[in-house]
Amino acid sequence: MDRATSTLVIVSVILVLLALMIVGWRRRARRQGGLGAPLPVPSGLGEPSILVPVLYVATTLAGAPLDRVAVHGLGFRARGEIGVHAEGIVLVLAGREPVFIPVDDVRGSGRATWTIDRVVEEGGLVLIAWRLDGADVDSYVRVTDDRTPDLIAALAALRTTERPAL
């Protein structure tokens, strides 16, 4: 086989693999199309108790850390910030609409070491377990400064504080 034929075969295989990846992503998005969109940030939201810069890693279906949610702008990593308010959590990601997680939809929080396509040091990810339109999901973020313990404490306190009406 000459060099041109070899190159053509390799390029063809790469293009077929890319096409299969696109088809797989679109099928995942179609399968998850029934998931409702995250809530918009309500007007009149109070000041956050903490606001930290994060690297948003992924949102997965609860209990399935390899099953990425591919709809509503939650499918791709991004830089952003997370704010913890008495009313809930606001996740602002670069290039996307902010996501509001009402306090009543927060199922829990904690630390994680891995999720789909990301493994970090022990407890290097912050896990936020929440309900997206009735479906249990887990979101993972990595704090980009040294305030991970502060964010964990604010998330833990979120479920135990008095909440103002929206």
**pLDDT tens string 95-111:** 888 999 999 999 999 99
Confidence of residue 71 (pLDDT cuts 50, 70, 90): confident
The verdict on residue 11 lying in a domain is: no
Say how many domains are in the chain: 1
pLDDT of 127 above 60: yes
Residues 8-61 pLDDT 10s = 999 999 999 999 998 887 887 787 777 888 888 998 888 999 999 999 999 998
The verdict on residue 38 lying in a domain is: no
Global pTM value: 0.81
pLDDT of 1 above 80: no
Q: What confidence score (pLDDT) does residue 31 get?
A: 79
The verdict on residue 35 lying in a domain is: no
* The CA-based dihedral angle spanning residues 85, 87, 91, 92, taken in that order and rounded to the nearest 10 degrees: -80
Confidence of residue 113 (pLDDT cuts 50, 70, 90): confident
The verdict on residue 32 lying in a domain is: no
Residues 134-156 pLDDT 10s = 889 999 999 999 899 999 999 99
Classify residue 38 by its DSSP letter.
P
CATH number at residue 126: 2.30.29.30
CB distance 28 to 72 below 8 Å: no
What are the respective helix, strand and coil percentages of the chain, to the nearest 5? 25, 35, 40
The verdict on residue 21 lying in a domain is: no
The verdict on residue 69 lying in a domain is: yes
Q: What confidence score (pLDDT) does residue 162 get?
A: 52
Q: Which amino acid does the sequence have at 79? A: R
Q: Which residues contact 27 (CB under 8 A, 6 or more apart)?
A: none
Domain span at residue 117 reads 50-158
Confidence of residue 164 (pLDDT cuts 50, 70, 90): very low
Q: What is the per-residue DSSP string for 39-107?
A: BPPPTT----SEEEEEEEEEEEETT-TTSB--STT-SS-EEEEEEEETTEEEEEETTS--EEEEGGGEE
pLDDT of 160 above 70: no
The verdict on residue 66 lying in a domain is: yes
The verdict on residue 146 lying in a domain is: yes
Q: What is the pLDDT averaged over residues 80-95?
A: 94
Q: What confidence score (pLDDT) does residue 37 get?
A: 81
